Amino acid sequence: MQKISSRIAFLTGSFALSAFASDVDIKHDATRIGAWIDAGQVWQGELDNDVKVEKQVVTRSKVALTQVTTVNDRLTLTGAVGGLFFYSLPIDAAGPHTRLTKFNAVLEEASGLYKYGDLDMPFMEAKFGLFFEKYNPDSKNLGEYLYRSGTYPGYLQTGGWYILNNAGYFMQGLKTSFNLLDGDLRAEGAIFMERDWEPTYDLTPSLMVTYKPGDIFQLGVGMAFNHLIPAKPSITTPEDERSAYKPTPTGDSLLTNTELFDTVQTPGLGFYSFQGIKAVARASFNLQSILQSDLLNPEDLKFYAEMAILGIKDYPIFYDDISKRMPLMFGVNLPTFKLVDMASFEVEYYNSDFPNSLEEVYERTLPVPGGIGGAGTPTRFAYVDSLGTQRKLRDKVKWSFWLNKKVVSGLSLYFQVASDHFRPINFNLKPSYQPVTQTWNDWYYMFRLNFGI
């Protein structure tokens, strides 16, 4: 870990020093001011501890300031700060603190971007600091699995602090990009610190290759080595009996309650780990590039898809079937005949037997599925005995509809209705274990008024 940190520091310093090696030419862009107001409802859903939600209003407002400075036309420094006003969920009729407006200061970006080679088509770009990373330009809500998912357990995430227009990941680290074949082929390598999901502070390297020979189609493949360089190995791979399996003559099994509470550790155990390799592939096909109809927007009738493997390695009991760790998303930009700028519909299928819960990860930092009754309880064993019968097929399907319309310069409208992986924030600034839309019948809608100068 120390060697990796030293190399990142060396590269970062090299970029800055090379920029100041000659006469310094600094250009400050005008400070940008942006804000948005979200308002909508969770029409039907369920939070942790079986708290039902029906027609619950959800509203959030944000304001942000962004300053961009360019040094010698090659080094671009960006800083952005903001403030978010929101109401938490669940709301307790007997708890006035749950009904008060909350505020959270947000560091939007603190990054540097250095370009090598031709400025219009640089051979190499290096970006470092904290920045928003989005490798799938077509995804509006679902997808973006490489950075917004886990391996063991294979959780999925959408939204977050920002419910709309947040299909990406706030990366803290270093990313280098290479433009090859006159820009048709782009290769990216990154190493970043895990800052949102346990165990935090681990370093994850990743690779992404994108091939785009024109406007008709695009292909991309990538891998991420989740928690490959742990800050503390005993947390990333805990030798905890609650996160262990026991080989037996008749097959692997979980430990019994007697074994769990025994002061002497059971010999010959295997342990689950947060470490794992994720792989993704995506593709898009733009039919409008062939039709070129004046009635449609340039990206209407674009079809796109993304799939992932959340952990290539199998583990006994919980993670023994790779087909149950493979989310798949399809999307299409619908023809709008220029009534709006873009409208998209996305659908996702994830054949996991486990609920998309982070209970064990949040509460005990254990790489086992959450929402199964707690490690070592009879409910946990009953759940394992009935795997595959817990979740209905339709509840493994998620969907999202999204559209936007530019009203005038600096003013836009957005709308989203979805049953996805949105986890509300409670009054302690903690997201719920499970998404509020857990079943096929759960959904929410959200409007956004977005403006900026």
> Residue 9 gets which letter from DSSP?
H
In the prediction, which pLDDT does 3 show? Answer: 47
Domains annotated on the chain, with CATH: 131-237+272-352+391-452 (2.40.160)
Taking the model in full, what pTM does it have? 0.88
d(CA 384, CA 354): 10
Task: Identify whether the C-beta of residue 177 lies closer than 8 Å to the C-beta of residue 162.
Answer: no
Alpha carbons 143 and 132: distance in angstroms, whole number = 15
Per-residue pLDDT of the chain (453 residues; tens, 9 = 90+): 444 444 444 444 444 445 444 567 888 888 899 999 999 999 999 988 888 889 999 999 999 999 999 998 999 999 999 999 998 888 877 778 788 888 888 899 999 999 998 888 899 999 999 999 999 999 999 999 999 999 999 999 998 888 999 999 999 999 999 999 988 999 999 999 998 878 999 999 999 999 999 889 999 999 999 999 999 999 999 998 888 888 877 778 887 777 777 777 788 899 999 999 999 999 999 999 898 888 999 999 999 999 999 999 999 988 999 999 999 999 999 999 999 999 999 999 999 988 888 888 988 899 988 765 554 555 556 666 655 455 677 789 999 999 999 999 889 999 999 999 999 988 888 888 899 998 889 999 999 999 987
CB neighbourhood size of 186 (10 A): 18
Are 25 and 72 in contact, with CB atoms under 8 Å apart?
yes
Which two three-digit tokens encode residue 369?
């599925």
DSSP-assigned beta bridge partners for residue 307: 281, 328
Kindly report the number of other CB atoms within 10 A of residue 248's CB atom.
9
Please tell me the distance from the alpha carbon of residue 119 to that of residue 22, in angstroms, as a whole number.
17
The tokens for 51 are: 């708290």
Task: Report the candidate in 231, 228, 227, 256 with the shortest Cα–Cα distance to residue 241.
Answer: 256
If residue 222 lies in a helix (H) or strand (E), which one and from where to where? strand 217-226
Q: Where are the alpha helices (DSSP H) in 313-415?
A: 359-364, 378-385
The pLDDT score that the predictor gives to residue 384 is 62
Report the alpha-carbon distance of residue 299 to residue 429 in Å, rounded: 38
Residue 158 CB neighbours (<10 A): 23
Structure-derived torsion over alpha carbons of residues 374, 379, 381, 385, reported in degrees to the nearest 10 = -130
Cβ-count burial of 168 within 10 angstroms (0-12 exposed, 13-18 middle, 19+ buried)? middle
Q: What is the DSSP string of 122-133?
A: -SEEEEEEEEEE
